[in-house]
Amino acid sequence: MSAATVYFTNLRSRVGYSLLDKTRRMFVKSGFAGRIDKGDKVAVKLHFGEYGNTAFLPPMFAQVIVDEIKKAGGKPFLIDTNTLYKGSRGNAIDHLETAFRNGFSYATVGAPVIIGDGLIGMDYVREVIDGKHFKDVKIAAAFHHADAVVNMTHFTAHELFGFGGAVKGIGMGCAAPSGKQEMHSDVLPEVNAEKCTSCGRCYNWCPVDAIDWEAGTKAQIIQKLCIGCGECTVACTYHAIAVNWKTDPNITQEKTAEYAYGALKNKDRKALFFSYLMNVSPDCDCYGFSDPPFVPDIGIMVSEDPVALDQAAVDHVNRAQPLAGSKLEDMKTDDKVKSIHGIDWRAILAHGEAMGLGKREYRVEEIE
Ligand code: SF4
Ligand code: SF4
């Protein structure tokens, strides 16, 4: 099995050749335009950034890709999904407002912005994968129905994955919130009786009748019937069914690789992955702040293989010098990505490779 190709360009620029020009050149070099058919609906998957975060990938990079997709005959749209946790992106209204405040709108990028799993995260499609952890996965409907995808990742460290890269961005980032719960938790949810208003919404949403409820009574989850799908955690708008974050990072990483596999299953050779190794912050863009980067800006990578891309990105970050004044400053370590949060990052790539999502062996082709 031959190594996957990862294109790399450093971040040096000059008059007439900006980082936007480099982004365009990387897209052209990838040959992806030739795989877009006229009228294809092309998802440009991004993270719009939690409000207050300033490290996320700025919208002008997406604008370049939008232009190139249009030139190739496609119909681009920007997409992300609702989050599981409370924050500025937990439903489509808040999420679109946050995207707008962070600079992502039709006016700035020339393409519609769509929250892929709908108003409250209930719009998803089940994709059968027969994985080690999941028989099927819940993929945001608008992502599933797209004909092609260009994923644009801002590489960061991460408290559960070790790093936030392409596989995590697709796996977690294209899942409906109840799918995110499935990935994050091995423990079944419980109702907080004090917060429960007896509205019955969870009872109506539970797919396996695992909720005991009658009008005027508090809901209770019947643990022996509950399959841990997480639907009730999303359905309860009173936050009476807590998201259970308890999990083993290796298991969450494997589950996320399975979600990425499911998200990309119907995108045969119509997926391209960018990774921006700039502002490599210690925490992901889901936080409403950004601590200084722990390594210098490195470059931009592109590949058709998300596993190879992530492996190459981690290797490049681990080879970089730690930055003074950053979280890594006093840590003497070869595995910088692991050291930031003490999380081994390998499980997501190993399981992704085992699933057939890509391969960890890569060769770098440098682009000027
Ligand atoms: S949806 Fe929430 S508030 Fe309503 S019955 Fe269920 S747990 Fe109680
Ligand atoms: S997690 Fe799923 S199966 Fe369990 S009670 Fe909630 S909706 Fe029902």
What are the pLDDT digits (tens) for 117-151?
999 999 999 999 999 999 999 999 999 999 999 99
Q: Are residues 50 and 150 in the same domain?
A: yes
12 and 160, same domain (yes or no): yes
Tens digits of residue pLDDT in 13-69: 999 999 999 999 999 999 999 999 999 999 999 999 999 999 999 999 999 999 999
Query: Does ligand 2 lie within 6 Å of residue 179's CB atom?
Result: no
Do residue 323 and residue 300 come from a single domain?
Answer: yes
Q: What is the pLDDT of residue 243?
A: 66
> Is 87 found in the same domain as 108?
yes
**C-alpha span between 266 and 148 (Å, rounded):** 9
Regarding whether 273 and 217 lie in a shared domain, the answer is no
Q: Which pLDDT does position 188 carry in this prediction?
A: 79
| pLDDT for res 248 | 82
Q: How far away, in angstroms, is 71 Cα from ligand 1 center?
A: 49
Note down the domain range covering 51. Answer: 4-180+247-366
Q: Which of 34-38, 158-162, 261-265, 294-298 has the lowest mean pLDDT?
A: 158-162
Residues 310 and 257 in one domain: yes
Q: What is the pLDDT of residue 73?
A: 98
pLDDT for res 137: 97
| Closest of 364, 351, 153 to residue 262, by C-alpha | 351
Number of domains in the chain: 2
pLDDT the model gives residue 234: 75
Supply the pLDDT for residue 159: 82
User: In this predicted structure, what is the pLDDT of residue 86?
Assistant: 66
What number does the ligand 1 atom closest to the CA of 239 have? 2
Q: How confident is the model at residue 245 (pLDDT cuts 50, 70, 90)?
A: low
Cβ within 8 Å of residue 324, ≥6 positions away? none
pLDDT at 175 over 90: yes
Q: Is the pLDDT of residue 332 over 90?
A: no
Cα–Cα distance for residue pair 187/207, rounded to 1 Å: 18
How far is 61 from 156, CA to CA, in rounded Å?
17
How far does the centroid of ligand 1 lie from the alpha carbon of residue 190, in Å? 11
Q: Which CATH number characterizes residue 225's domain?
A: 3.30.70.20
Question: For residue 201, which atom of ligand 1 is closest to its CA?
Answer: 1
Tell me what percent of the residues of the chain surpass a pLDDT of 90. Answer: 79
Identify whether the C-beta of residue 93 lies closer than 8 Å to the C-beta of residue 113.
no
CATH number, position 283: 3.40.50
Distance CA 41, CA 249 (A): 34
What is the chain's mean pLDDT, rounded? 94
> Does one domain contain both 265 and 356?
yes
Note whether 325 and 359 are same-domain residues.
yes
Let me know whether 220 and 259 are in one domain.
no
Domain boundary among 243, 271, 288: 243
Question: In this structure, which residue's CA is closest to atom 8 in ligand 2?
Answer: 206
Query: Has this prediction a pTM greater than 0.75?
Result: yes
Whose C-alpha lies nearest to ligand 1, atom 4? 199
**How many A from CA of 48 to the centre of ligand 2?**
30
Tell which of 226, 243, 260 closes a domain.
243
As a whole number, mean pLDDT of residues 327-354 equals 91
For residue 122, which ligand has an atom nearest its CA?
Answer: 2
Q: Are 225 and 256 in a shared domain?
A: no
Domain end point (choices 199, 222, 243): 243
Say if residue 232's pLDDT is above 90: no
Q: Which ligand has the nearest atom to the CA of 201? A: 1
pLDDT at 246 over 80: no
CA 87, 88, 90, 95: dihedral to nearest 10 degrees? -170
Going by pLDDT thresholds of 50, 70 and 90, the confidence category of residue 228 is confident
Window from 202-211, 252-261, 275-284, 314-323 with minimum mean pLDDT = 202-211
Predicted pLDDT at 285? 92
Q: In this structure, are 100 and 206 located in the same domain? A: no
What is the pLDDT at residue 258? 98
**Does 232 contact ligand 2 (Cβ within 6 A)?**
yes
- Comparing CA positions, the residue from 163, 209, 172, 231 lying closest to residue 47 is 172
Mean pLDDT on 292-299: 96
Instruction: List the structure tokens of 232.
Output: 């009730």
Q: For the chain, how are helix, strand and coil distributed in percent, rounded to 5? A: 30, 20, 50
- The verdict on 137 and 59 lying in the same domain is yes
